[in-house]
Structure 1
């Protein structure tokens, strides 16, 4: 609506049609590109619907509303410009302005700007009067202070859901349609305009007679008489309800995403602290105490103790802290407990479950329970757990006096034995995943080791496939058996598997029998 300004406020010269046409073309290209982005965001083959994806979708919808609004306003501006050169049919031009923006990238017919433009072109009386027209969300009004006359455009009546026969709302009646908390905003704008001659620019919410709530943006200014006094007030009122809903959706989805990120950071910190609290904090190759770790435990005279080193290789995502563990403990009778394993799942629940299981393994081993029986009792413990999970594990007990390794496994890769430049997996005794079958029995196997032998226990996630990890470790046999210490062996393994993409952390425990090496 052109501003009915006085001669004291000359109108700004109209922009050239070529400039507006160029802006319309740019808007169409942006709208087409945005439709492509929106299709990519909507495609969710995995069925995921996390907070980040919802936030991205909300941003796309907000951008769609803003570009559609821009396209409509440019179309309205173009309609109001003088015709500097011959034009095609006005209805086609008006419909095409927004319709091409919506269909340039294959947008569905009847959606977005395309649908609204087409609806306006088909309406009786042309695009200007159709319910889906370009102007259906923008209306104008003027309140004459001298004659008390109120002039509303047809579009404004539609925005307010008001019968034109009832006339436009006066400045005294308008606040009764406005939310109570928004009434001071409207009052302040009107007062500033009429008393101080300030422009109007603000938003408020109205409740229509049909109880539909709309958010209205009002912009305008006073119209001055010859003496500089305010003769009337004019304004353009725009229905921005959909735009504000999209903005609100972006804010809410962003807040949800940030909240979930804070929770994830907290859970990761707790998971790391829980794992570090229970796993041996080794930073190098250490020898376990020789018999003085427990009261009554005598030194293993003439025995072959173990040199030990361990390492945890992180997953490709730092947020996926799992329930993997490695452990070594000297037992009261002089034997050494070795164990590795992992729970399904990630986060605090997995690390807390790991801490519980590791405590149980240590307690039963200290009590003298053999590896096979120990696995069976762990399985019973998981069967009555409030949060059942599947666990793969290896539990071994090494006697330095006889160099005998007794071990059992639960659905887990067997330890690897390296000797004289070659390596092989130990023959696995029977055993299913812990927690898979109630009452399952677990056999145990025995292996006699030689001085210089190297044992490698790992959690199976060094590579994407456990079998692949075993084969790749065996190819390292010449280097591992020639290494000077278990810590050097750990570095060799870390170099070989450090860049491997892993869904979970992976642990490796290396033990070498003291004596003459290879």
Structure 2
């Protein structure tokens, strides 16, 4: 490379760094490159998540880091190749022996700078020698000197030689020509160093991004006699940086969409799920079944209700879980919980549809078993790709203190009485939307004053290998049944719910869940 001292005479070469220093840097770079490559392999191993924007961003970052380390390794390789060879090493190559433990390990497989290669493919990918070249334009003699490497970057042969300064812009993108003109003008007229990038279009149609750095060469009287420069092909590096930016932007857009969808789902869910504590509101026709005495009895035996929604720990989306309690015109109370497949606005919209159907049929006097059968038909016919769901639907009569209920592949309610608890024996019932024309049996349970019913969805605790067909695990059920003494000492359904929340709110659940507690009045 000519020195910026004279256009006609090259300056003495600067002292070269010690070979052992360069070798040590190459060794460190190779080890770091191997480590980054391992991270990249781990990141790209999950092919099932190939469309995950966050995974694409991570892969792009790894690719960019690999490109940068490859560039560093090639720089160091070229620096070492420029050093004079050690005659002793040439005559006596190192042998494997007692010093082999300290020998430099071979470069990792796939390392782009592991072995020198003048050319590797149509884009000139290979060692640093095919990606960095030098040039000098002599203003006094109009001579143009290009290195073979620079000719290769431009897709020219050494016999073609270099391009004069006045022809160089014709190879540059029209949008980048002002950049090149400013760089050359500032260098030749104002004596400023060159530092900029532009894109070239080679004769074979290949587009490359080139970084140019250099400075003017002054003659003895201080006038600019020539311009020298180092041009580096940074196409792959810029492509990797662009991939990082695009994948990052895609990830940010997905997160914005997810936040917006979650906000809509939350608002829709809050408008659908009832917000109440204590007893449900009594209708005006409540005394129709027994006059004033009947009304007093109903008030005395009213249900004390409380409910809570548990969001998923690993997802920002709202699921399709629901709970509901509704005072019916005849004085009975509808109790229901369920889980619809899916997440987000679609699942919440499906819950709104189901709750509307459940309430409408319950008000019309449809029994729980028949009600689930019609829900099954509704889900099966609602869309081209019907959703699936599980549910428990019960009707409590405060006069007789009886609960008539049915279930569709859902965990059975738990009944707590006198400090102990047990699961109710479930009647037959299959998943909603899975079997057209399915029928659902009913079961009855006689309740007593002070009894506590706990209805919940299946995601209250994490799924385990010992889970049964309804999604319940023995450990989770035992933990919930273990709250029986606290339920017995509680004075309201809200106190019982607080005990459940304290016991399960710290779970790392993969799905959302909800709990509905109904306490029988004295």
Would the TM-score normalized by the shorter structure come out above 0.5?
A: yes
CA displacement at 1:237 relative to structure 2: 0.8
Match of 2:28 in 1: 26
Q: Does the CA contact (< 8 Å) of 1:417 and 1:454 recur in 2?
A: yes
Match of 2:99 in 1: none
Does 1:258 find its partner at 2:257? Answer: no
Q: Does the CA contact (< 8 Å) of 1:338 and 1:397 recur in 2?
A: yes
Q: Does the CA contact (< 8 Å) of 1:310 and 1:510 recur in 2?
A: yes
Match of 1:396 in 2: 394
**1:77 alignment partner, one of 76, 79, 88:** 79
Spell out, residue by residue over 1:346-374, the C-alpha distance to the aligned partner (whole angstroms, 9 max, x if none). Answer: 11211111111111111211222221111
Equivalenced residues, count? 492
Match of 1:288 in 2: 280
Task: Determine helix, strand or coil for the equivalent of 1:433.
Answer: coil
Does 1:217 find its partner at 2:220? Answer: no
Task: Say if 1:322 and 1:243 are closer, same or farther in 2 by CA, change over 3 A.
Answer: same
Task: Say if 1:406 and 1:179 are closer, same or farther in 2 by CA, change over 3 A.
Answer: same
CA displacement at 1:483 relative to structure 2: 2.0
Q: Does the CA contact (< 8 Å) of 2:77 and 2:113 recur in 1?
A: no
Q: Does the CA contact (< 8 Å) of 2:30 and 2:107 recur in 1?
A: no
The residue correspondences of 1:90-109 to structure 2 (distance < 5 A) are 107-108=108-109
Q: Does the CA contact (< 8 Å) of 1:391 and 1:434 recur in 2?
A: yes
Does 1:150 find its partner at 2:157? Answer: no
The residue correspondences of 1:9-158 to structure 2 (distance < 5 A) are 14=15, 16-17=17-18, 18-44=20-46, 47-80=49-82, 88-89=89-90, 107-108=108-109, 111-114=111-114, 117-120=115-118, 132-158=126-152
In structure 2, distance between residues paired with 1:280 and 1:350: 17
Match of 1:246 in 2: 240
Match of 1:302 in 2: 297
Match of 1:491 in 2: 498
Match of 2:320 in 1: 323
In structure 1, distance between residues paired with 2:357 and 2:484: 34
Q: Does the CA contact (< 8 Å) of 1:300 and 1:334 recur in 2?
A: no
CA displacement at 1:391 relative to structure 2: 0.6
CA displacement at 1:405 relative to structure 2: 1.2
Task: Determine helix, strand or coil for the equivalent of 2:320.
Answer: coil
Task: Say if 1:80 and 1:119 are closer, same or farther in 2 by CA, change over 3 A.
Answer: closer
CA displacement at 1:295 relative to structure 2: 11
Match of 1:455 in 2: 453
**2:435 alignment partner, one of 434, 437, 445:** 437
Match of 2:379 in 1: 382
CA displacement at 1:415 relative to structure 2: 1.1
In structure 2, distance between residues paired with 1:512 and 1:131: 75
CA displacement at 1:132 relative to structure 2: 4.0
**1:228 alignment partner, one of 214, 222, 236:** 222
Spell out, residue by residue over 1:83-126, the C-alpha distance to the aligned partner (whole angstroms, 9 max, x if none). Answer: 7x766349x99xxxxxxxxx9587325x4221xx243599xxxx
Task: Say if 1:20 and 1:378 are closer, same or farther in 2 by CA, change over 3 A.
Answer: same
CA displacement at 1:485 relative to structure 2: 1.5
Spell out, residue by residue over 1:12-70, the C-alpha distance to the aligned partner (whole angstroms, 9 max, x if none). Answer: 95463254444333322322221222222222275554111111111111111111111
Match of 2:359 in 1: 362
**TM-score, scaled relative to structure 1:** 0.88
Task: Determine helix, strand or coil for the equivalent of 1:432.
Answer: coil
Structure 1 residue runs of 5 or longer lacking an equivalent are 94-102, 123-129
Does 1:512 find its partner at 2:509? Answer: no
Match of 1:98 in 2: none
Spell out, residue by residue over 1:394-422, the C-alpha distance to the aligned partner (whole angstroms, 9 max, x if none). Answer: 11111111212111111111111111222
In structure 1, distance between residues paired with 2:59 and 2:380: 43
CA displacement at 1:381 relative to structure 2: 1.1
CA displacement at 1:390 relative to structure 2: 0.7
**TM-score, scaled relative to structure 2:** 0.87
In structure 1, distance between residues paired with 2:16 and 2:10: 18
Match of 1:338 in 2: 335
In structure 1, distance between residues paired with 2:315 and 2:309: 13
In structure 1, distance between residues paired with 2:249 and 2:44: 20
